[in-house]
Amino acid sequence: MVDLPSPADRPDEPRVGTDEWVASHGERTARRTGVTGFIARVWDRLPPFGRLAVFVVPTAFLPFLMSEENLTRYALYTLFYALMGLGLNVVVGYAGLLDLGYIAFVGFGAYGYGILASPQFGNHFQAELAIPAVAIATAVLGLLVGLPSRRLVGDYLAIVTLFFGQAFVVFVNNANRIDFPHFGHVDLTGGANGLSDIYPPNFFGYEINSTRRYFYFVLAAFALVLTALYFANESRTGRAWRALREDPLAAETMTVPVNRLKLLAFAFGAGLAGFTGAIYGSFQTGAFPGDYDVGLLITIYAVVILGGTGSLAGVALGAIIINCAPELLRSEHNASLLFYGVILLTILGKVRPWRVLGVFLGGLVAFGFAVHAIADAAWPRLTAAHAHSTGFLKGPIEDWVLLPRHPVKIADYGYVILIAAILLVTRLDGWRRLVALVPTVYLGAFVWENLLITQTAGATRLILLGALLVALMNARPQGLLGTARVEIV
């Protein structure tokens, strides 16, 4: 046998066949430059409590800066989404179980709290009793749902839980007219009307009855849950969850009782959902069947996935983006600012070098004025209407975008063509893409002004959310703060 040098001989030299290059892979790719790199490095060096403080301390001053209405819309709902996201993160992010019935647990918490503290049954339990009781009951429900599911792998679990979520909605919608044996007719959930007038939580006589009190209460709950989850993740249980996510069989042979831990993750996530749901229900002073349907489920999934599954900071970031961006869309003026702002920023960030960028922006502006001028001369009806956008945007837009007097049909076609155009642009590259982008952006502005802006409170928000999810998965499947994962199938 040839006498090969033993690898420990010369530790400083990289050698062919050893793994120096592979080992430094992480460092090479992670070394980011500029402002984002600086922030990332500072963030990495902060101790866990420091990171929590970075989020919580500035947030705590929000009530002094915002009106009550804005505090509810921007801050409180973000915190609620984040709390729901934290529970889902345990199930999906840590244990890797695809639970599509998660929202039903939130709903169960809200209804459970409503039954314990609303005029429906004349109960009014103290919150320090009711909220833990509801959380524990929801965890038990999670255990029961998990029991038949524990043998199911991946997608089967997804479908069973999705059905469970649907079953929950059907149940609460109709549980006002079920005849129970022994009890007779009981109106359990108020049916389609839901439970209303849920009392605000009352801790040892201290009532959470104002927006500001709710805000601090939920912020404290969020900080506590986040801290607890951080420690849970770094414990033997957290490691076992992640191990079973990575490879259930290897985890099982490495002393991890996989089935029991799956159930634990399920019940744990459900308990957190029930806890959040109880507070959420009391805050909304009611529990209604439509609230806990697929819409909220997808929103919370978006929160977790956008930030990066498995990352606690990611959940917070995801909640901020998912709640605040559509909220901004509610007012037409803000929506327009956001829409044009995002497009402009994307162009500024992506089109390089500066010369090309200048030509592109110039071309875009000129294209719009040209189209507008031609239309003005030939078919004045196409430019006759007024812009929905207000403020400083109104003037330029009326001179630039076509605003037909009867936009309905033409804007519908424009929408379909726009989707096709966007898909086409993603297939082109180089200068072709830039050239094609000019009419596409213009068409986008046209569809926005004539169709999308009229529905900013409804369909448009959800369309943009759907498109955002697809685009994000294409660009960064691991989420904003997630680390790229290796998966071997």
Partner 1 sequence: MNWSLFFDLTVSGLTLGSLYALIALGYSMVYGILKLLNFAHGDVYMIGAFIGWFALHGLGGPISPDVGAWIVTVLMFLAAMVGCGVLGVVIERFAYRPLRNAPRIAPLISALGVSFFLQNSALLLFGAAFRDYDSFDLIGSRTRHVGQVYYATPQILTVCGAIALMVVLTLIVARTTVGKAMRATSFDREAAAMMGIDVDRVISVTFFLGSALAGAAGVMFGLVFGQIYHYMGFIAGLKGFTAAVIGGIGSIPGAMLGGLVVGLLESYATGYLPQGSTFQNLYVFAVLIAVILVRPSGLLGRAAIQKV
Partner 2 sequence: MSAPARLLDLRGVGKSFGGLRVISNLDMHVDEAEIVSVIGPNGAGKTTLFNLVTGIFRPDEGDIVLDGRSIVGLEPHQITNRGVARTFQTLRLFLNMTVKENVMAAQYGRTRSTVVEAMLRLPRARREEREIARLAEEKLAFFGSRLMGYRWDQPAYSLSYANRRRLEIARAMATTPRILLLDEPAAGMNPAETHEITELIGKLRSEAGHTILVIEHDMHVVEGISDRVVALDHGEKIAEGTFDEVATNERVVEAYLGPRHTRKK
Instruction: Please name which of 300, 293, 294, 302 lies closest in space to residue 468, comparing C-alpha atoms.
Output: 302
Q: In sequence order, what are the residues at sequence separation of 6 or more whose Cβ sits closer than 8 angstroms to the Cβ of residue 396?
A: none
Interface pick for partner 1 out of 52, 75, 92, 278 (rule CB under 8 A): 92
The answer to whether 323 contacts partner 1 (rule: CB under 8 A) is no
Residues near partner 2 (CB under 8 A):
1-2, 4-8, 11, 17-19, 22-23, 25-26, 228-229, 231-232, 234-240, 242-243, 246-247, 249-258, 264, 268, 483, 485-488
**Of 135, 322, 445, 452, which lies in the binding site for partner 1, with binding defined by CB under 8 A?**
452
* 170 forms part of the interface with partner 1 (CB under 8 A): yes
Q: Which 222-281 positions form the footprint of partner 1 (CB under 8 A)?
A: 249
Residue 297 in tokens: 């489920």
Sign of CA pseudo-dihedral 218, 224, 229, 230: positive
Bridging pattern class, strands 195-196 and 206-207: unpaired
- For partner 2, the closer of residues 210 and 235 by Cβ is 235
- Among partner 2, partner 1, none, the one that 152 touches (CB under a kind-dependent 5 to 8 A) is partner 1
Compute the distance between CA of residue 474 and CA of residue 422 in angstroms, rounded to an integer.
14
Binding mask 378-417 for partner 1 (x = CB under 8 A): ----------------------------------x--xx-
Query: Under the criterion CB under 8 A, does residue 485 sit at the interface with partner 1?
Result: yes
* Calpha distance 20→442 (Å, rounded): 51
Q: Does 178 bind partner 1 (CB under 8 A)?
A: yes
Own/partner contacts of 294-297, CB < 8 Å, gap of 24 or more, are: 294/103, 294/165, 295/462, 296/103, 296/106, 297/100, 297/102, 297/103, 297/165
* Residue 211 binding partner per list partner 1, partner 2, none, with a CB distance cut-off of 5 to 8 Å that depends on partner kind: none
Are the C-beta atoms of residues 467 and 298 closer than 8 Å to each other?
Answer: no
Stretch that binds partner 1, among 197-205, 342-350, 351-359, 455-463 (CB under 8 A): 455-463
State how beta strands 184-186 and 178-180 pair: antiparallel
**The one among 23, 39, 46, 167 contacting partner 1 by CB under 8 A:** 167
Cβ proximity to partner 1, 283 vs 415, nearer residue:
415
Least separation in angstroms between residue 243's CB and partner 2 is: 4
- 123-124/117-118 β-pairing: antiparallel
Site for partner 1 (CB under 8 A): which residue of 2, 377, 378, 470? 470
Q: Is 143 in the site for partner 1 (CB under 8 A)?
A: no
154 binds partner 1 (CB under 8 A): yes
Residue 178 binding result from partner 2, partner 1, none, given CB thresholds of 5 to 8 Å by partner type: partner 1
Complex with partner 1: residue 57 or 475, whichever CB lies closer: 475
The entry of partner 1, partner 2, none that residue 283 binds, CB within 5 to 8 Å by partner kind: none
Amino acid at 34: G
Closer to partner 2 by Cβ: residue 125 or 230: 230
CA 432, distance to chain mean position in Å, is: 34
Residue 107 is encoded by which pair of tokens?
């709903």
Calculate the CA 35 to chain-centre distance.
25
Is the distance from CB of 387 to CB of 394 less than 8 angstroms?
yes
Q: Point out which residues pair with 118 in neighbouring strands.
A: 123
The yes or no reply on residue 309 touching partner 1 (CB under 8 A) is yes
DSSP line for 355-392:
HHHHHHHHHHHHHHHHHHHHHHHH-GGGG-SPPS--GG
251 binds, among partner 1, partner 2, none (CB under 5 to 8 A by kind): partner 2
Q: Which residues bind partner 1 (CB under 8 A)?
A: 92, 98, 148, 151-152, 154-156, 158-160, 162-164, 166-167, 170-171, 174, 178, 249, 294, 298, 301-302, 305, 309, 412, 415-416, 419, 423, 426, 451-452, 455, 458-460, 462-463, 465-470, 473-474, 477-478, 485, 487
